[in-house]
Structure 1
């Protein structure tokens, strides 16, 4: 069982509320989403593991059980070409839960016309493999988002 914690502080809103059909339809995988606080902040690793994919707007950490967790910072933020994002880790790095991976500013993303809503996805998982899914309410960085069995 892997506990996936929130990479951001904000409000949990669940995937159906994500303004993107690929995420809201859980086509990438099951999970939830965070509407982050609008201040410059750091997105942190949601599990202990290895950073296997790293872009300014998204990263994947794979834990010891082989569970890959995608954190996607905002919607359509790839179109910002990295502007406003600062990488604090590198692909291949071992990270611990809570370790900063990307620094970004959700308010600047919003000002650029993009949604700062950030999906947190269990890659290659099934919906019934997730439990204790948090889909509403305030959440602090590091608090549990879901359990993955």
Structure 2
């Protein structure tokens, strides 16, 4: 069962708390969301794998067994057109759990009028296959967030 680690420090709040119906209704996949601490930080890889998708505000990593995890930094942050986001990796890079993927500042995102809450979802999974999903607790980067079968 793949273990997905928290890519950010903050409070796990569950996907129903995400102010975007695409995530809140599990249309992208099951998982949880993190309301991040409001300070400059680096979002890290939630598992060992390859960066299969990378945008200024979001990234997906797939492990060797084909399990993909999307981390979306904030809601509607695409409107910031990359401002305030910096990626030290690129699409196709191999990353390890806990390795930095995108540097950003949730406080600056919030000051720009966007919600910094960050969904972390298992793509191509169903809700009945996710286990031990953290939805109401403080989490630290690298801590277990959920698993799936």
TM-score (norm 1): 0.99
Equivalenced residues, count? 149
Ranges in structure 1 where 5+ consecutive residues have no aligned partner: none
Distance 1:77 1:107 in 2: 13
Distance 2:148 2:62 in 1: 13
Distance 2:147 2:21 in 1: 24
Distance 1:124 1:10 in 2: 25
**Offset at residue 88 of structure 1 (A):** 1.2
1:39 aligns to what?
Answer: 39
Distance 2:88 2:107 in 1: 19
1:120 aligns to what?
Answer: 120
Distance 2:128 2:63 in 1: 19
Instruction: Provide the alpha-carbon RMSD of the alignment.
Output: 0.4
2:73 aligns to what?
Answer: 73
**Offset at residue 148 of structure 1 (A):** 1.3
Q: How does 1:15-30 map to 2 (within 5 A)?
A: 15-30=15-30
1:133 aligns to what?
Answer: 133
Ranges in structure 2 where 5+ consecutive residues have no aligned partner: none
Q: How does 1:43-122 map to 2 (within 5 A)?
A: 43-122=43-122
**Offset at residue 137 of structure 1 (A):** 1.1
Distance 1:107 1:25 in 2: 26
**Offset at residue 49 of structure 1 (A):** 0.1
User: The residue matched to 2:135 in structure 1 has which SS?
Assistant: coil
